[in-house]
Structure 1
Amino acid sequence: MAERFGVPATALRFYEEAGLLPADRTPSGCRVYGEEAVEHLAKCVRRRGAGRRIPWGPVPLFVSRRSPGG
């Protein structure tokens, strides 16, 4: 998903650990993102592309701690 959206994989892991981007795991431990997570990340990427200064790093100011769909 990082490659698909052009974001660092570390950002995806950070957001997952913070509870902002839900991911399931395969038996081998690979992350599997559902459609809700994909839509949420797409919205964040669009906002960033619209000129907003949205960090990929440790302080995701633009994302609420509510569920990704809400």
Structure 2
Amino acid sequence: MAEWVMVRSTAIRRIGYDSDAMRMYVDFEDSDPVYSFCRVPERVFREFISARSVGQYYHQYIKDRYGC
């Protein structure tokens, strides 16, 4: 089951993580589907939710890196 965290961001509403499946979910403010990312280490999820800029962290460390 995914753990969901609400984040402070103009682009991202919340971030979920399923540690058993190593799957992360990103719920963007301006889109309906929740995006899914595979084989994401828990460390990346923890850094993501605590980043000073969640959007910047997404673009630098997650986007186009963890495709399913």
Per the TM superposition, whether the score is higher than 0.5 is no
Larger strand percent: 2
Larger radius of gyration, structure 1 or 2? 1
Which protein has greater RCO, CA pairs closer than 8 Å, 6+ apart? 1
- TM-score, structure 1 as length reference: 0.31
